[in-house]
Structure 1
């Protein structure tokens, strides 16, 4: 890449020079009636890099495929997570500059019969700066836009009011659990005014013969405080000109006065209406056009004077002198509305403030627009310099030399990074390829493979030992890819004979009442079920704490009847292995249904679901006590929960088990153990193994070559680069899990990094040159506890603490660190 850039240096410099001068003759006024052309989703004018999404179902349904009437990939963008009941999944388009958007188009996907998903409705959000997001509402305050009824028709929706924005997000909605996919297009034109916000007094209500006429700016998208609107745009720049009778509107089913923003002199308490305009960049202003009502029989008249002040930037003073314009009007007895052109004299500014003087009791304005340009630049001696300022030539030459040196430095850095990326990339992809291979019966295919006869399982290396280690979580079964892109079943690589553990009780499958599907994979599904009157099942060896008459929640793993022979063997091996795990903080296997197909295993399920969802809906309880209705969690309760997880992992490590997918999503939350939930009480925690099969957490796993899915944000560097899984790598994952808990699961680990950057960071741990990035200390985390996390993330596996030490620390020391 870098070597290809070298011949392009002259061309790059030419582009810099040309683009510097290209704007001098651009006219920044636009015609809204013609502002309805497609902006480039369908024809590719908008590049892939400017189309992003909250998540994607798979590589073939990622954001770049969300283009109207195109069929690349699997035919559309499809989110990984559900859109019901939450509505947090979105497709985002970055237009790179402000645009006036007049309509949008949506479409589902058909993909030649491979998919039949579409969104029946959606919401829109937009932003002018990439930081502040605004929810679009129609003229009547409704946010939901009706979408598609089938997979192929394009549905166009006029935006009333229009949107002025750089970025737009589409949030598909559903009224039930269903798959949705989306293709979109935006229609409009570049917002040539460059106006990004105006500040003005809030409009007033006119009492006309006992009937209220609302003259407020009903579509203003900024803030309103103390009678002033600021930080947004609204009806004064929506391209709609009000008619002669302000009581009438061009929109249907709206209130009288809708097309105008109006102010009463007595209510306002001053003789002028002051409006301040903020623009993206400094511009040279030539003309301002103001469309005003003149219904003089109802005491509404056009303003008679305008005084405008100009400011170069937000921190600059107002330039002197101000520009004062008298407004000589003819036909003062004509009640027609009119557009008044005001010459601004070519004054440069980024902020413009104009005071419009009342001519009567009321001033009503419908639209304000500007003719302006960027500051003009001319070419002199082949270099761009400001007009009439030859002294800038040396500065500009110096800038160009600096640009050349900067480009050369960038090329050097790229070459250096490419060398390391190639080296680490080879290590990573070879490791992950081996990691994702299904292990066949017969001779070991690579060092560390299981002995003959144990097919379908993967091994991890035990810390402190050289033998093979069983692993508990399903995340290690990389070769089993399911419908959702996730595997469902873990098969610990530990042989179990009938003498090792007694046979599990056979449960009557008719006692399992289906409640919800938790996830699915290639060979089976995980369901949430209830068992009514569990005390009646005498063969269940389970210390029930369920009151009589209340059902017991269980998770049921179901193997599909058409599963292969190897899958059936793996399933039965998993049953034998899980039956050995008896610990208060490990989910217990309760029974099986293996007398007939489909094969089922039944495990505990905790009443409050998984820890990630439990914590993400809570806030940390501070010393002042609860101040709102949001559920809370206390610091001692968090530490108690973390201690329980450490206890469960201590048990697993004592059996030489490696979990491989420890995270809050794989911990389940049970009933209260201490004080009530409203006072931040703790709850019982048990470690589970089926979090990965849930679509809800598909975004937590990295997909490699369409096959392997790895929780890289929780994985130690040696797991990512070398496929080396040990108890010490579980300790690393515990540190990340503890970080999640003290962050109350409000964000994903390394949320500011892409998956590729997380892998690069693993390479920095490998190189150990001090450039590796650690998760930052959560705001509520004491320094001593953060130091425990950092020790969990030690580069040297031998320096990481044991789970016995972690459990002791959390039990004895962490409670006193509040």
Structure 2
């Protein structure tokens, strides 16, 4: 081996070993299950579930045995089929799957027997039974108590059904249900993820009923699958269904249920000891790190987070005498529901008993989750320890728990060493033999991925409108772990085809020159109701989407703005940059001499004016130069007191420049984040303040500017406080610099490394369908209004990751009342929050127009 290779191995060892050890030691922390993303296939179609783990009550023949009941497979005679015709009075046939461990199952898929056109048997309806131990079987019921699930209508289509509530099980049975004698066959799949909590049951007092304003609020555990008599025993239910309750416990995520449905609650009048005791049983002894309890805190209705919790642990037969106690900080200011995290201090246990003490009249929980690592025990007899109880005989040899912390570290080290040795061998081979081959393959794979994965949205925001690529062919998904996100309760998935949204490259490059009618022809998707003219081709800053009916604005070759002398510029700072240009903040002299007569500056004579100068780089390509000229022509037509104005151009030589207004107080986001609302906090901190009336005055101006844009059928597509500039006396003007500024890079979500999207401000149809309209601008206005009234102290949906924001748009599409809305700001009156919510209406046609928004804001002016 070369000396250089030996040196590199030693260097790798020093770097990778501590990292691997750290990863191992930190890998034990697990988070609670999230039903919205826990939707991966568990292995029927992908064959991770072995044949011996699939069984059935009977079978037609060897070729229709249970092992052939795999979704989307045509092996054998094409499906599992029970031995005889199913009779309505005898529906005990089943197909059973053993997952080998507990899983959280959120979705099931079924299919009939097609067999290339030979078969035509399928189950129109079916039931599901499940078990966690293989002995006690539970019939699944939906949240309304219905057991029967709608199945297939033909032998080939896959029908996916959400399990609401989800189930926690190791064994699952599919049981065909019919109302007349018929032959049935089934192919099935389960979707979900591993149940990391390991919880197999909890025992708790029955939830109780509250009378609130003459309304009955039922706080019982309605989906509990254990025994229910005077208490709940040996089951799981709403405390483990992954669904967190809303802030207002009288509301629910689910349709057609009663008030209080999401919570299990108790009143202190029924518990003389002052606490509710819940016992949790687990699948094996575990090393517990934390418990997270989702509690309601609607203190105005005498509901609060628990005052204290005391937890006892059982690892063998007896409960340990020393409990863990925890007291959360009481909150009488914020009524929001929240998770309370309780440290369990790495106690080893197979059962935990927790006593939750009341802090007010009512206590309500919607979720309880545990983070743990499986415990390690010595399986041989250990010698008696010094200090054992005197009645223990020498021959008894009691088994003691072993302190496994050092053992785990040693195992981690050994695993890391093996991993590093294998990695070093691979690295040496790669560098000495296969490097060039792998580079070529990876480059080809990257090109294919970027071509196939270019989304509708990223194309619309792309830095180059002339980008083309071949459309990917429709193909089956080969990913074993591809998650399924159905767009409806009865989502139909055609067999052997994973349908994709059509690639935007199917639309010809000259879409912008087509009429609206021509762009909606059959087979040619129309992704936006406005054809796009250079959204961010020069500086990375979004300009406007211009509908085809106004494309005559771009006719003619003359630039309708006077040339401005470059020598009158004084550069102050760079505001931002993009692929083909930069934006600079400058001072301009004698600007009033070059302006239209209908425009005047609020400055004295001979005083310099702050302007923003967009500069096109000299090496920009021809397309970028054409886009730059189009942007000038568009901007020159925009003349409104609340829209940034184009003041001049420099076209006589490179670099080409366009000059726009700039306001002395910068953008609204930075302006508000430096201020505080009027009140005690501002007085104590001596911070500058902005009154509510001034906030509403600024919001009204934004609405006025957008009303003007919408009257021209222009779509902004990036409305946010970062794109609003603030002048004297709280004057607001809408601009388009936000995307080009590094300061706001975190507000944009990058897609495949090509383009970025302001997803936290975008409507669901813009994210999922690529539709940008005035109605999607209205949505963004609602978010901008929320930013304004919260003084831009946090990002919209700051508690959600970018991926969760995108998932939330799917909830808006499904419209099953699971979507998350931005909360009402503290200083936002109810009528204004109602206006915000109307901006986020699922149906774009039911959102208010900017004319209506402007009118409502004026009517509610303090």
Q: Do the two structures share a fold, i.e. TM-score over 0.5?
A: no
TM-score of the superposed pair, with normalisation by structure 2: 0.41
